[in-house]
Amino acid sequence: MDDLFAPPAYEWKRLPPGFLRIRRLSDAIGWLVLFTIPAVILLIVTDLWWLSALLWVVALVIIGLRFHFLRRSCGSWGYVEREDDLYITHGVWFRSLTAVPYGRMQLVEVESGPLERLFNLASVTLKTASPGTDARIPGLDPAEAARLRDQLTELGEAHASGL
The rounded distance, in Å, linking the Cα atoms of 53 and 36 is 10
Rounded average pLDDT over 43-60: 90
Q: How many residues does the chain have?
A: 163
- 63-107 pLDDT, tens digit per residue, is 999 999 999 999 999 999 988 888 999 998 899 888 888 888 888
Burial of 144 (0-12, 13-18, 19+ CB in 10 A): middle
Per-residue pLDDT band at 10 (split at 50, 70, 90): confident
Q: At residue 134, does pLDDT exceed 80?
A: no
What is the reported pLDDT for 161?
57
Selected residue with higher pLDDT from 9 and 95: 95
Each domain of the chain, given as residue ranges in start order, spans 2-9+79-161, 17-73
Fold held by 2-9+79-161 = PH-domain like (2.30.29)
